[in-house]
Amino acid sequence: MTFRKFHLVLPLVFAFFIIAHPVSGQVDPKGLLERVRSDIEARHKASVGIRFSHEMRLAVSGSENYQVSLFFDPDLPRLEQWKVLAPAETEDRELFNQAKKRIDQNVQNNPDAQDDRELILASFPLKSEQEASYIGTGSDGLAIYSFDITEDFMSSDGVDGSGDMKKLSRFLSGELAIDTRTEQLSWLRIYSKKPFKPVPVAKIKKFDIRLLFAPAWQGGPIIQQKSISDVSGSALFKKFVERSDMEISAIVQKQNPDHDVMVKSDSDN
């Protein structure tokens, strides 16, 4: 069950924004993008068939306020793969039952889904290097690129492709960062530069979706390891502030049914 499919949280997805301060050093922007694209695709290809268990932490504030921790194990039957770790049923029976109910509904609606593998980034978010404009490289070694948000992008791998998100595309901008030291995709950001009105009765003051990426394990596929969503504004003359956070941790790579190997995610270091 991916974050975007788990309806306990807002169906919005993700990146970490750092303003780039140009520093000395040569960066080949197009070549860097090409190498990162090839690396993502190669890692995905090498991971075909590999499953992994993991924990997922969800925190939501706004119209709803709660925190839950879940555990996913692909070795179990589909109906038993997700478990609520926190809160315990004895601590908050209402939230525990709500989480369990929504997990069960998601599983029933997606009986053949492989929720662990849906975290994996199969390809680079942009279709071509020409879609990205190089901004600069900061002292942190992150090369920053900007790009236009299109309806096609909103349905690309790793990004929510819902109809509502597509309708918002003309109001949004995009940025992504590549770590020049590891030559890996670090984060991606979808945001609004100014307030906008998607419909006459609503105004969005802030829209900021951030998605952070990391290798699932050393040499493993790139996954969406963390996401942050901040949306605020007003609808029908009522103000709202909604925030959701998701984080993946404690990844255990499943080598085969009889032998598991604990692998610490690079992001846990």
* DSSP line for 47-95: TTT-EEEEEEEEEEESSS-EEEEEEE-TTS-GGGSEEEEES-TTT-HHH
Cα separation, 118 vs 46, whole angstroms: 15
Q: Does residue 5 register a pLDDT over 90?
A: no
Query: Mean of the pLDDT values across residues 32-59?
Result: 96
Confidence of residue 153 (pLDDT cuts 50, 70, 90): confident
Tens digits of residue pLDDT in 59-88: 999 999 999 999 999 999 999 999 999 999
Query: Mean of the pLDDT values across residues 222-229?
Result: 97
Q: Does residue 124 register a pLDDT over 90?
A: yes
Confidence of residue 141 (pLDDT cuts 50, 70, 90): very high
In degrees, to the nearest 5, what angle opens at C-alpha 242 toward C-alphas 151 and 91?
Answer: 125
Question: How many domains is the chain partitioned into structurally?
Answer: 1
Residue whose token pair is 């998605």: 211
Q: For the whole model, what pTM was predicted?
A: 0.81
Torsions phi, psi of 208, nearest 5? Answer: -145, 110
The mean pLDDT of the chain is 84
Query: What single-letter DSSP state applies at residue 215?
Result: E
Beta bridge partners of 150: none
Query: Mean of the pLDDT values across residues 262-268?
Result: 48
Query: Mean of the pLDDT values across residues 232-244?
Result: 95
**Nearest-CA neighbor of 191 among 19, 32, 56?**
19
For residue 189, what are the domain limits? 3-268
The pLDDT score that the predictor gives to residue 130 is 64
